[in-house]
Amino acid sequence: MEEFAKESQSNIENKESQQKEKEKEKEVILEELEEQLKQKDEEIKQWKERALRYAAELDNLKKAFKREKEEYYKFALEAVFKELLFSIDNLERALEAFKQSENKEALKEGVELTLKSIIQTLEKFGLKQFIPSIGEPFQPYLHEALSTEEHPEIPDGGITKVYQKGYKLHDRIIRPALVCVCVGKKEDKKFSSEETKESEEKVIEMDKN
């Protein structure tokens, strides 16, 4: 009985020891989990700070791009205007000279030269004039029909008159040419007024006979 009691006591102690070891293992695991959670919380905090910082930087970039875009559109034509200032000066000088001398030919020549200079300046920046040819087929993307008429020599749908030049900016039409379009040929008259009169007189004579 005494040996059995000792054995039982030993078993109980072993179980208690195992239980304590398990509890210690649990405590270690819990401590490790807590440490991992702390690390994850710290990482999350760092990523949140980075996200907020990046969001602020992105917002600043958007504002900067917006300012640059507004600035670009505001002064995009600065180079064009600088080139045109010379032509404006010439026109003003021509008008001033006309007041003093009233030389129409000189004024005309000055205006023509200035207009040529303006056109050349605009061509440097991609703006080009185009003038349709008489008889050229009407094309809706290039021309705008202001009127129509019959014409004895131009085929139906051909251009008979040009009222206003067209303009292209590089490959884009910014103003179509204003034209008059043929809607059919005039029929040639078979008889002149005199021939018609003679024919009527012959009919009258035939009726009398």
State both tokens at 200. 């009527």
Return d(Cα 18, Cα 119) in angstroms, integer. 101
Which of the four pLDDT bands, split at 50, 70 and 90, describes residue 198? low
Query: What is the pairing mode between strands 143-149 and 177-182?
Result: parallel
Query: Is 80 exceeded by the pLDDT of residue 6?
Result: no
Are 96 and 165 in a shared domain?
no
| pLDDT attached to residue 105 | 84
pLDDT, tens digit, 9 for 90 and up, residues 68-110: 888 888 888 888 889 899 888 988 888 888 877 777 888 888 8
| pTM, entire model | 0.56
Q: Quick one: 68 and 8 in the same domain?
A: yes
pLDDT digits (tens, 9 = 90+) for 28-73: 888 888 888 888 888 898 899 989 999 999 999 999 999 988 888 8
- Angle of helix 78-101 relative to helix 104-124, nearest 10 degrees? 180
Is residue 81 domain-resident?
no
pLDDT digits (tens, 9 = 90+) for 11-25: 666 666 777 777 878
Say whether both 147 and 180 belong to one domain: yes
Q: Are residues 103 and 137 in the same domain?
A: no
Tokens of 148: 């129509």
Of the two residues 186 and 14, the one the predictor is more confident about is: 14
Q: Are 158 and 181 in contact (CB under 8 A)?
A: yes
Confidence (pLDDT) at 27: 80
Question: Is residue 149, in this structure, part of any structural domain at all?
Answer: yes
Region for residue 149 given its phi and psi (left: phi exceeds 0; alpha: psi -120 to 50; beta: otherwise): beta
With residue 180 as reference, give the H or E element that holds it.
strand 177-182
Domain of 39 in residue numbering reads as 1-76
Q: How many domains does the chain have?
A: 3
Same domain, residue pair 106 and 134: no
- Supply the pLDDT for residue 42: 87
- Euclidean distance between CA atoms 130 and 135, whole angstroms: 15
Both 62 and 111 in a single domain?
no
Phi and psi at 126, nearest 5°, equal 100, 0
Query: Alpha helices of the chain — where are they, by DSSP H?
Result: 2-75, 78-101, 104-124, 193-208
Using CA atoms, how far apart are residues 3 and 120, in angstroms rounded to an integer? 122
Q: Is residue 205 part of a domain?
A: no
Strand partners of residue 90: none
What's residue 133's pLDDT? 95
How much is the pLDDT for 132?
A: 95
- Amino acid 100: pLDDT: 79
Residue 204 lies in a domain: no
